[in-house]
Amino acid sequence: MPRLSRDDCERLDSTDALGAFRNRFELPGGIVYLDGNSLGALPAGTRRRLDDLLREQWGNDLIRSWNRHDWIGMPRRIGAKIARLIGADDDEVIVADSTSINLFKLLAAALRLRPKRKVIVSERGNFPTDLYIIQGLISLLDQGHELRLVDADELPSALDAEVAALLLTQVDYRCGRLHDLTAMTRQARTNGILTLWDLSHSAGAMPIELNAAGADMAVGCGYKYLNGGPGAPAYLFIARRHQGDVQPAIAGWMGHAAPFEFAPDYRPAPGIERHLAGTPPVLGLAALEVGVDLLLDADLHLVREKSRRLGDLCLRLVEQECAAFGVERACPRDSALRGSQVAFRHPQGYAITQALIAKGVIGDFRAPDILRFGFAPLYLRYVDVWDAVAALHRVMRNKAWDRPEFKHKASVT
Ligand SMILES: *Cc1c(COP(=O)(O)O)cnc(C)c1O
């Protein structure tokens, strides 16, 4: 293959149909940001929106804003917008709580829909909170449920008639492997198994078609590719066919059929709203809405196409520039099988990540030895990938990682 140069990357940027989106983000100068899959960048519109919210709505209109500015309708309204990103109908998604809590709520609901089955299947390498939530719920219910953890290639044979629910993350947070959501959902469905998808690492980076696949439930994160800001509220999806049958695991007043009747007894709201527990986090919702609106302006097929190209470029450049330094690919080579991230393995992964951050290239490290680079196609350029790999080359050639300050683990990696 011919060697690529920085000029080649600049040429790719000059014809990039998504190139103009970069101006709709506030990005610090001198930084290559390859961590939009962990915390999305700040949309330029968020500052205005929050400023208006603080001055006009909270500051001036005070409690009247729940009606006047429809604060109360935000979980539904923003849920309906997210529905368009994930192939759901607008009354099938609501914004609430965190991904962890939504996993708890939906898994509890799924188990009640399959009372005779006692097995939950997930992947051994799934994101830890997903596994902890399953373990915690099993112990809380104390009804003899069992977590069956398998590797991805063992999934098909694990889906038997004992299984109540299959809980999978569509894109693996470490290696970036992408599940075939449609095929896996179909297979589960054939065996009477409910699917609960975690879309945290996929929504906003690729088109997702939950209803076309026949998915039952899903959750996802607001602060990654949706650019909702640190700790943004999360969302949950329940296919309409289940909504009337699914009792909320947390019966809070915001999920009541008529919260402002202040009745002593719980009566669930008719649809997806019953999965709201408490008062909506208005500041977080407002920021999330700006990020989601921005994504709705983009064609997700173009986003996916660019994401695949950015990943391919990064793999090719690392092979070209860094092969001699023992940096090994740890993600699928085929972009059709990969989410919007790449991963490499190196025994000094943590120190290398720190040395890169010191040079303005922000990726992250995932234990035990994975260097992870995420690509948010709306604000990342092809030259950014070039600059990141050039920095990696310098770090490796000069052993710039070999300094005590780069080996000290901070509490967040
Ligand atoms: C980011 C992420 C989460 C985050 O859960 P929180 O409750 O927001 O901390 C959960 N699951 C997966 C797969 C994730 O990638």
* pTM, 2 dp: 0.98
Nearest CA to ligand 1 atom 5: 99
Q: Is 200 in the pocket of ligand 1 (CB under 6 A)?
A: yes
Q: Is 98 in the pocket of ligand 1 (CB under 6 A)?
A: yes
Cα-based distances in Å from 275 to 72, 118, 286: 14, 23, 20
Amino acid at 399: K
On whether both 326 and 398 belong to a single domain, the answer is yes
Which pLDDT value is given to residue 408?
Answer: 87
Does residue 219 belong to any structural domain of this protein?
yes
On whether both 383 and 256 belong to a single domain, the answer is no
Which pLDDT value is given to residue 409?
Answer: 85
| 126-128-133 Cα angle (round to 5) | 100
Task: Look up 64 and say whether it is catalytic.
Answer: no
Does residue 382 belong to any structural domain of this protein?
yes
Of 296, 331, 361, the one marking the end of a domain is 296
CATH code of residue 223: 3.40.640.10
Tens digit of pLDDT at every position of the chain (413 positions): 789 999 999 999 999 999 999 999 999 999 999 999 999 999 999 999 999 999 999 999 999 999 999 999 999 999 999 999 999 999 999 999 999 999 999 999 999 999 999 999 999 999 999 999 999 999 999 999 999 999 999 999 999 999 999 999 999 999 999 999 999 999 999 999 999 999 999 999 999 999 999 999 999 999 999 999 999 999 999 999 999 998 899 999 999 999 999 999 999 999 999 999 999 999 999 999 999 999 999 999 999 999 999 999 999 999 999 989 999 999 999 999 999 999 999 999 999 999 999 999 999 999 999 999 999 999 999 999 999 999 999 999 999 999 999 998 888 88
Does residue 389 belong to any structural domain of this protein?
yes
On whether both 27 and 146 belong to a single domain, the answer is no
Atom of ligand 1 nearest to the CA of 126: 13
On whether both 118 and 256 belong to a single domain, the answer is yes
Q: Hey, is 317 helix, strand or coil?
A: helix
Does residue 89 belong to any structural domain of this protein?
yes
Of 257, 277, 296, the one marking the end of a domain is 296
The beta strands (E) that lie in 215-325 are given as 217-220, 235-238
Query: How many whole angstroms separate alpha carbon 22 and alpha carbon 44?
Result: 10
Task: Look up 223 and say whether it is catalytic.
Answer: yes
Domain that holds residue 188: 70-296
Query: How many whole angstroms separate alpha carbon 319 and alpha carbon 336?
Result: 19
